[in-house]
Amino acid sequence: MEANARNLERIFDGTVSYQIPLFQRPYVWTEEKNWCHLWGDIVDVADRYLSNEICRSHFLGAVVLERNNNVTGSIETRQVIDGQQRFTTLQIMMIAIRDICEKYENTKLYDRFDGLVSNKRSKVDLDEEAYKIWPTNSDRSAFEVVHQLNKYDLEQAHQLEDKIKNSQIFKAYHYFLRVLEVWFSEHNDVEDCLDALWQVVREYLQIVVIDLHSQDEAQVIFETLNARGTQLLPADLIKNFLFRKVIGSDKEIERLYTEYWLAFDSEFWREEVSQGRTKRPRIDWFLQNYLSLMLQDDIKVSHLFDSFKVYVNDTEDSYDKFNNRFFKHPKNTTEHLIALKEFAKLYQLITQPQDERVALFLYRLEAVGTATVYPLLLLAMKLWQHQPTELYEFLSTLESYLVRRMVCGMTSKNYNRYFTDVIKEIYRTKKESDGLISSYDIHKILSKSDSDSSRMPDDIELKSQLLERPIYGRIAQYKLRMVLEAIDAAAHHTKAESMPIQKNLTIEHILPEKWEKYWPLENEGKSPEDILEQESRRNTLKNTIGNLTLITDSLNPSISNGSWQAKRPEILKYSKSNLNRYFQLEAEDELSIWNEDKILKRADSLIGLFISVWCSPLAKQHEWSEDFADDIYIAIDI
């Protein structure tokens, strides 16, 4: 490679076209992080020039270029390997200066700046060669509009598509028009300002141009250069890596990009979304889950690019080890692009579901608070996207596993490893069953473990936990609300997933948290020790599931802590939910009082509904009976 410092006039003068490969990232520079700093550098030099101070060359960074093989008679073209954000910004700035020269009727400087942003039409063969820079595919429409407006007042701007008006290229153009006018207002003579800008561009702004020779590895240089601008996403590196491997014409490369990658450059995939406490672009999370499934390993989001290269190289060099898995793995660049597009659609079906059952699963999964199941979900969508019965059974089983562990207070810290192992076990099951996998197979796998870090609680353990341990205050309220919502739906219909998800409900204690004033204990003839035991038992049971319900609005504290006779009609008034039909007044009213025995009896009913929603592990199913319930009551009945 060869490096030389060049001023902007020397770089952009003459008939030359700098082409940004379509597989590079879109234009992403912003005012706060980039434009204002660049403009500040330029204004500092221009102000010194206007003040007749000594001006020194100002270094704007570096750009890496690769010369294209041009046929005789065609114009010189080069690919921008690194520095496209800076190059594009400088072009937008000079277009703004050109257009402001037109406003102030300075024809000479208009022509000079136009010569730095445009090639003469008579000198080029292709339309795109008329531009000094030809951006990547997703930015071309906005760049063409900015380049061709030619009117500073932008009379037609309001008619432009929102996609163009909201693009960073269009915003950058407006930014430079605005700051130019502000700078002019600080000086007496606009013509002097325009001349100063020309002198600065012509002599004092420099970029180090690194020209690659034919033997240089452009991809390696692209990966290792740490540009001054916005950090490259792993997806940008992956895109560059894949498309540089494509063997074919420019038209073929553009076809592959448009058909298989263009969508990944949209705002949707680059929007930052949260998983746990971490925010990253949505495409990062997708790639992490995709690679975790393909490699059957726990892939760290910080190692995405390296992991992807390993996967591509392995499928090309050692394809046999990927053979006979759940589906055909890609073994060349085109097939990798096809697979990425296919699994991205599956990922969207999960994260932006149109199916009601998938949407309900996602809602409950968010309450559980783990994203480690996504590789397994991708596999399930791949296997059963056209078999809804199998898919729904799988979702119910996985949901049962997660919710049972959550209410039993079991850890989720090893889920990433565990669900990777589940995928491996599914693969082994596939080999043993001639390739047929059912949701029942996964239910068996999730039922196997006896380890506290991964086992699925059976009905005995579940009931023991829900009866003996307070759940209110032990798990977050939004998690508990989800559980009560599901039980409420199950009370209406055995197929709980068919019910719409209720929102904005409030958890209410039936026996109040502050019960002492209106809910006295029967202490007559009891020893101090017995009284303490009674109080302890009540304070335990008040936070168990049998004493909790959902209402549409918070009760007045005086009612919430008031007597049962005052509180009961208010609960019915504020909620018509299935949970609260339990408290309806009847001729032979068994609920004229609410005490510990009533809490336990209601808990029995709710736990039965819980089990109807979230199934038991296969190897540990137990018959639900009143005798079994009595055994559990004895454990806490004092």
For residues 149 and 107, is the Cβ–Cβ distance under 8 A? no
Average of per-residue pLDDT across 246-272: 86
Q: Which of 315-329, 421-435, 460-474 has the highest mean pLDDT?
A: 460-474
pTM for this entry: 0.74
Average of per-residue pLDDT across 79-95: 92
Nearest to 266 by CA among 250, 253, 283, 241: 283
Q: What percent of the chain has pLDDT over 90?
A: 49
Q: Which two tokens stand for residue 9?
A: 């006039």
pLDDT at 325 over 70: no
Q: How many CB atoms lie within 10 A of CB 474?
A: 14
Which sign, positive or negative, has the C-alpha torsion 59, 65, 70, 74?
Answer: negative
Task: Give the position of tokens 């991964």.
Answer: 454
Helices (H), 433-550: 439-446, 459-468, 477-492, 528-541
Residues contacting 330, CB < 8 A, separation 6+: 315, 336, 338, 339
pLDDT at 43: 93
Q: How many helices (H) and strands (E) does the chain have?
A: 27, 10
Burial class (CB in 10 A: 0-12, 13-18, 19+), 247: exposed
pLDDT at 496 over 90: no
Categorize the per-residue pLDDT at 469 as very low, low, confident or very high, splitting at 50, 70 and 90: confident
Using a CB cutoff of 8 Å and minimum separation of 24, what contacts does 583-586 make? Answer: 583/510
Residues 539-549 pLDDT 10s: 899 999 999 99
Nearest to 87 by CA among 110, 69, 62, 108: 62
C-alpha angle 200-205-208 in degrees, rounded to nearest 5: 165
**Kind plus residue range of the DSSP H or E element containing 63:** strand 58-67
pLDDT at 522 over 80: no
Query: Which of 333-365 are b and which e, b meaning 16 or more Cβ less than 10 Å from the residue's Cβ?
Result: bbebbebbeebbebbbbbeeeebebbbbbbebb
What does the alpha-carbon distance between residue 593 and residue 575 come to, in Å, rounded to a whole number?
20
- Amino acid at position 1, single letter: M
Nearest to 133 by CA among 198, 74, 89: 89
Average of per-residue pLDDT across 449-466: 93
Task: Give the position of tokens 């939004």.
Answer: 478
Average of per-residue pLDDT across 480-501: 72
pLDDT at 150: 60
Average of per-residue pLDDT across 587-609: 84
Phi/psi for 43 (5° steps) reads -65, -40
Q: What percent of the chain has pLDDT over 70?
A: 85
